[in-house]
Structure 1
């Protein structure tokens, strides 16, 4: 990895590939520079050396202060350009950053006020008087209590089990009745965020609903199927798909429950009979 060896000066233009950065200008330098001491570590991962600290203003209105000389000179995320900004350009960039920071503060203040107003509305709304409010908002306990109430009102004929499996995690289980998609939609407000596979982290999303009625990091669903519903689905499938399933013996519920039908191929279909019945069950309301 190449180390930039010239001395920085106010106005030195830089570029950083990190999301918050982009094109920028060094506007202040603290301490004596030691470019000859800067070294990149093996395979360009990390840098060391240097002495000075740099303040950089970016064209997007953000400012980074006290950046290490070694980081800007040798890090793979940074490039130092030969062009030097004029005093007027540096002044304009700093004024732009000041205006952007004021705008961000005003936006954050407005969002906080809107958030607080919605929290107050939810707390006092007669529409949600049947739900419980409390302080233990993110362990899953409060969310579990309120999910039970939501499901009881939405699907009064179905018995649900809503239990806490670990801190911040809930499991909802029921037999027949609504589909998993319907329950997922009913419980969606209680999710405290989502797992981002791209960054391999859980991203929390604080909402007014969660602040008042609770949240859970993960909500898993398990819909069981009675023999009665399974039998109906098999019967309907062999009636509706009579031409496709011609020559295939209609299975029993027991055969399906044992998984015997994974070996039964269906002409013109990539899925086995077991998979087709399971998929149909998943979409069928009980």
Structure 2
């Protein structure tokens, strides 16, 4: 069976469709970018689903992996509806922007969790301005029982916040299967065709 070769732009169109099916209420910017050695897709959105949820869709459209142990770029192979296909995107990059409302929600969440520590140390609750403009100062603040600095705690909570517990099924994503990788590296996320957990 002959392999169908998709350009990076055609792959981006498929990814855009899968994202629309999975997150119908979210506006995504999906842009393809080609360069001498291959192509990449850049996905951007604001609030809504978190990075992990969107990557669960986007990473399926990558046709390459990197094994930095050997400075090696390997190949990942796919099929659509059982037919072999070569995707035109080596990698998919995801960037989630955060509204002031979501940032404030993360600040409030961290403050609630460590409120007694804030009060005991005489440290006021950080403001939205503090987070956006004084990150270095917030990096210096930490309390017993807080595993990371205040700034990192807020960033971590911000990154995990989502407006949904589950994501919708996508017919487009269901039709796209990773069949195997090139078998060269044990570090491939699809070594032996099984996605890494």
In the superposition, the TM-score normalised over structure 2's length comes to 0.69
Match of 1:248, SS?
coil
**Matching residue of 2:42:** 171
Q: Give 1:30-179 correspondences, 5 Å limit.
A: 116=1, 137=6, 139-167=7-35, 168-179=39-50
Distance 1:266 1:215, change over 3 A: farther
**Matching residue of 1:36:** none
Given that residues 160 and 173 in structure 1 are in contact (C-alpha distance below 8 angstroms), is that contact kept between their aligned partners in structure 2?
Answer: yes
**Matching residue of 1:275:** 152
Distance 1:149 1:213, change over 3 A: farther
Structure-1 separation of matches of 2:84 and 2:116: 55
Q: Shift of the alpha carbon at 1:233?
A: 1.4
Q: Shift of the alpha carbon at 1:193?
A: 2.0
**Matching residue of 1:221:** 94
Q: How many residues align?
A: 154
Structure 2: segments with no counterpart, 5+ residues: 164-197
Is 2:61 the partner of 1:183? Answer: no
**Matching residue of 1:231:** 104
Structure-2 separation of matches of 1:155 and 1:245: 38
Q: Shift of the alpha carbon at 1:146?
A: 1.0
Map Cα deviations across residues 58-109 of structure 1 (whole Å, 9 max, x no partner).
xxxxxxxxxxxxxxxxxxxxxxxxxxxxxxxxxxxxxxxxxxxxxxxxxxxx
Structure-2 separation of matches of 1:232 and 1:179: 14
Query: Which structure has the bigger radius of gyration?
Result: 1
Given that residues 245 and 267 in structure 1 are in contact (C-alpha distance below 8 angstroms), is that contact kept between their aligned partners in structure 2?
Answer: no
**Matching residue of 2:123:** 248
Q: Shift of the alpha carbon at 1:181?
A: 0.8
Map Cα deviations across residues 25-51 of structure 1 (whole Å, 9 max, x no partner).
xxxxxxxxxxxxxxxxxxxxxxxxxxx
Q: Shift of the alpha carbon at 1:240?
A: 2.7
In the superposition, the TM-score normalised over structure 1's length comes to 0.49
Structure-2 separation of matches of 1:141 and 1:266: 48
Given that residues 44 and 94 in structure 2 are in contact (C-alpha distance below 8 angstroms), is that contact kept between their aligned partners in structure 1?
Answer: yes
Task: Give the RMSD, CA atoms, in angstroms.
Answer: 2.3
Match of 1:208, SS?
strand
Structure-1 separation of matches of 2:77 and 2:105: 43
Q: Shift of the alpha carbon at 1:158?
A: 1.2
Structure-1 separation of matches of 2:91 and 2:77: 14
Structure 1: segments with no counterpart, 5+ residues: 1-115, 120-134
